């Protein structure tokens, strides 16, 4: 679900409204759950007088995920899909390395807790994608900063579902590319 037109969302307008515009008429249950999650997050942000920006939406979503013990698998799936849509819209540097590490750990623990079995394939892909993107915000030169997120990604390298392995490979290649760029820049 999160992959559907994910590139067509933008940070210029309210993400919840963009989702409503796109999926309001959809009869698909996963779209209904995604819209409910987005509306709840928007309500939380509005009640706190926070801006309706991708970084604020992502912060609200990760905060909700951190209390995931009380959420069922449908809610977690919707939250993972929402984060996979919101996170690529967050500007580079908008998440501190420490907060990115914490967020990667939260999503990683959610994946470990669910064991990959409580989430559908698209939601599992969304969560794995989130960990991969969050690692890009981390200090990749500090192993402790990326250890848990990287270990979480590696667990899905041998998943029995090809689409999950594909998103792992994508995230892994992006990280390797980034690490090579760091090494090249430091040696220049």
Domain locations in the chain?
A: 6-187
**pLDDT value of residue 182:** 58
**pLDDT value of residue 141:** 77
- Between 41-50, 82-91, 161-170, the lowest mean confidence (pLDDT) is in 161-170
Q: What is the mean pLDDT of residues 169-184?
A: 68
**pLDDT value of residue 3:** 43
Chain centroid to CA 48: 22
Question: 0.75 exceeded by the pTM?
Answer: yes
| Percent of the chain clearing pLDDT 90 (strictly above) | 35
**pLDDT value of residue 56:** 95
Q: Compute the distance between CA of residue 114 and CA of residue 40 in angstroms, rounded to an integer.
A: 22
Q: How far, CA to CA in Å, does 30 sit from each of 82, 99, 100, 144, 164? A: 11, 29, 27, 35, 18
**pLDDT value of residue 181:** 66
Name every residue whose Cβ is closer than 8 Å to that of residue 4 and which is 6 or more positions away in sequence: none
What pLDDT, in 10s, does the model give residues 37-74? 999 999 999 999 999 999 999 999 999 988 867 778 78
SS3 state of residue 57: helix
**pLDDT value of residue 2:** 43
**pLDDT value of residue 146:** 77
Q: Compute the distance between CA of residue 69 and CA of residue 90 in angstroms, rounded to an integer.
A: 26
Residue 75, pLDDT > 60, answer yes
Other Cβ atoms within 10 Å of 71 Cβ, number: 16
Confidence of residue 4 (pLDDT cuts 50, 70, 90): very low
Q: What is the DSSP letter of 94?
A: S
């Amino acid at each position: 679900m999160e992959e559907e037109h994910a590139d067509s969302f933008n940070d210029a307008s309210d993400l919840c409204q963009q989702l409503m515009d796109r999926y309001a008429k959809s009869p698909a249950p996963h779209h209904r759950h995604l819209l409910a999650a987005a509306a709840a997050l928007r309500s939380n942000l509005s009640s706190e007088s926070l801006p309706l920006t991708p970084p604020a939406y992502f912060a609200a979503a990760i905060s909700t995920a951190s209390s995931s013990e009380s959420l069922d698998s449908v809610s977690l799936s919707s939250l993972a899909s929402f984060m996979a849509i919101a996170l690529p819209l967050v500007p580079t540097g908008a998440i501190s390395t420490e907060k990115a590490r914490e967020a990667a750990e939260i999503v990683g623990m959610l994946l470990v807790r669910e064991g990959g079995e409580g989430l559908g394939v698209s939601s599992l892909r969304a969560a794995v994608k989130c960990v991969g993107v969050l690692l890009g915000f981390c200090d990749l030169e500090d192993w402790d900063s990326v250890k848990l997120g990287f270990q979480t990604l590696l667990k899905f390298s041998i998943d029995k579902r090809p689409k999950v392995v594909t998103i792992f490979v994508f995230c892994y290649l992006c990280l390797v590319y980034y690490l090579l760029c760091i090494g090249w820049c430091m040696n220049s």
